[in-house]
Amino acid sequence: MRACIFLIVFYFILPFVEDAGSAFAQKRQAYNWVFGDSTGLNFSSGSPVPYTTGKCTFGENTGCISDTSGNLLFYLGKLSTGDGVSAVNYESIYNRNYQVIQNGDSLLTSFDMNACSLFLPKPGSSDLYYLLYINYYTLQFPTQSPGLYYSVLGASLNGGNGACIDRNHSLIDSTNFSEHIAAVRHANGRDWWILTYEYLVDSAVTYLLDTAGLHGPYYQHIQIGMQTSSTEFGQMVFSKDGTRMGLSEGGIINTFDFDRCTGLLTNPHYYSEDALHIPNSLNLYGCAFSPSGNLFYLGGFDYSHHVDSVYQLNLNNNHLTRLFGDTCNFYILGEYALAPDSKIYIASSTDQLGWGVSVFDSLNTHLCIIDKPDSNGIACHFIPYGLYLGHRRSWPGLPNMPNYGLYQLPGSPCDTLGLGVNSLEANSSLTWGIYPNPSDGEFSVFITNPRMQDQYRIRLYDVTGRIMLNQTICAKEQECRMETGNLRAGLYILKLERNGVLAGSKKLIVSESK
């Protein structure tokens, strides 16, 4: 199969629009945390400010999202009677006015499953949002299958109060799902990877959310977690830059590298409690990466000795530092969360068996703080019960949020949308195209207004990021024929570089040869 490259000189104006503040606007979607017993935090001032106007109670399963201006938009919760006792047996979607949105009740979720739901903005839309969640307990919903579900929400519907368009839509029926789900931005800066896993079958399960909706499932055979059906505790998180995934669960810790281009996990590291000299009686629960991703924080509770513990694991040298160990007296330290202020907060709660107790004290009305999480050892400044919630109390869960502000990975094979910052220099005067497209294999690349002194490089990638063609051409050449090999029919990404800088990327569709 051959491709012909023609360089034709003519002038064409290429409009280019780039919203320089888009990444910052996306970051504001994490400015509001709603969790605990009708409590929450607002980070719009740069520091967390508790607010006490909530009317819902939350257990371990907590999710919320704000709009790009930093205003609370949706959250997941259960109606509270005011003393911490839930007045209903199911979770609903609420708006910023603490009202259940239209058709937003009776979700197939459970508030005592940790970090098993999350909100994502639909790529390409300023109004639609996806809520993904895992239904694990068949006793709570005996007529529904356990597995992975989603609902679609419209923010402007119902007079701006929001509405659920598609509720409890099943993606996979499975009794093997863990209680964990996490998301990270695709390398193209627009789409989302959603990751969960099935125990007993050694499979990571990934979905891709793009402008057309959800695609998948994609299975990767790799061991994650304890791989036992008895797993009840734990948390799965991505690093801030999306290049690492970490998990603490029961008696083990996992870390992986993550490819934002392909959605694949690589370079697994499995740490047991024995290997790290952590007591076997400790139930590992929460975890979080430092902002740099080089330090991994984890902890849990020891029922047999009534002790809570917090550790820091240096991923560069596997050195473990115990930051905190204290008698818990049936209090537990729950989920961890890296906040917009670059600090890590840890939930503190009464024992899970005590949802309905009316206890407000110095432990459950505060969050613990890791003040400088990128500092090694005790220099990270762990502050036990350091953030007061305004006489509202915490449960074990904190909001399960991706890094909404994570944007494109410039220059990567999957930075295919022209969002990369390296494409903003003089290349804006370069106009180019592919013809014909779709193609049966023979195609031409046209470049307008080339500069004779420049060097141009053509790279062709398949959808997994594998390079299929890589060749330098000169602008003075009028035609350059390239051997592309036997390309299968499908979608490819063709990238053009000028003087080592990405000039642009385009999709190429190869159809079956006639």
String of DSSP letters for 464-501: TS-EEEEEEEETT-SEEEEE---PPSEEEEEEEEETTE
SS3 514: coil
Looking at this protein, which amino acid is placed at residue 397?
G
Distance CA 102, CA 112 (A): 24
Considering the domain architecture, whether residues 216 and 110 belong to the same structural domain is answered as yes
Straight-line distance from the first to the last Cα atom of the chain, in angstroms, rounded to the nearest whole number? 13
Question: With 50 as the cut, is the pLDDT of residue 8 above it?
Answer: no
Last residue of a domain, one of 388, 410, 440: 388
Structural domain ending residue among the three candidates 362, 388, 414: 388
9 & 41 share domain:
no
Do the Cβ atoms of 373 and 296 come closer than 8 Å?
A: no
Domain contains 402: no
Instruction: CATH number of the domain at 157, please.
Output: 2.130.10.10
Which of 281-295, 342-356, 431-445 is the most confident on average?
281-295
pLDDT, one tens digit per residue, over 260-284 is 988 999 999 999 888 888 887 788 8
Domain of residue 444: give its range: 2-18+424-510
CA dihedral 398, 401, 402, 406 (to 10 degrees): -110
CA–CA dist 296, 273 (Å, integer): 15
The CATH number assigned to the domain holding 465 equals: 2.60.40.3080
Question: Within this chain, do residues 173 and 292 fall inside the same structural domain, yes or no?
Answer: yes
In a domain, 407, yes or no: no
* 196 neighbors 181 (Cβ within 8 angstroms): yes
Q: Is residue 394 in some structural domain?
A: no
pLDDT in tens, 467-510: 888 887 755 444 556 656 677 877 788 888 877 777 777 777 78
Is 349 found in the same domain as 260?
A: yes
Per-state percent for the chain, helix, strand, coil, to nearest 5: 5, 45, 45
Q: How confident is the model at residue 146 (pLDDT cuts 50, 70, 90)?
A: confident
Domain-ending residue, one of 336, 361, 388: 388
Residues 165 and 284 reside in one and the same domain: yes
Q: Rounded to an integer, what distance in angstroms lies between the CA atom of residue 174 and that of residue 269?
A: 27
| Residue 428: per-residue pLDDT | 41
Model confidence at 93, pLDDT cuts 50, 70, 90, reads: very high
Q: If you average pLDDT over each of 139-148, 169-178, 372-381, which comes out highest? A: 372-381
364 with 253, same domain: the answer is: yes
Are 335 and 447 part of one and the same domain?
Answer: no
69 domain residue, yes or no: yes
Could you please report the per-residue DSSP string of 201-268?
TTEEEEEEEETTEEEEEEEEE---S--STT----EEEE-TTSSEEEEEEBTEEEEEEE-TTT--EEEE
Whether residue 124 lies inside any domain: the answer is yes
Is 336 found in the same domain as 240? yes
Does 56 lie in the same domain as 10? Answer: no
Same domain? 167 vs 35: yes
Residue 405 counted as domain residue? no
Residue 265 included in any domain: yes
Please determine, for residue 355, whether its predicted confidence score (pLDDT) is greater than 60. no
Answer yes or no: do 152 and 255 share one domain: yes
pLDDT value, residue 89: 54
pLDDT at 296 over 90: yes
Q: How many domains does the chain have?
A: 2
Instruction: Tell whether 359 and 435 lie within a shared domain.
Output: no
Average pLDDT of the chain is: 80
What pTM did the predictor assign?
0.77
Higher pLDDT, 47 or 83: 47
How big is the CA angle at 275 (ends 271 and 276), to the nearest 5 degrees? 80
Q: What is the pLDDT of residue 244?
A: 97
29 within some domain: yes
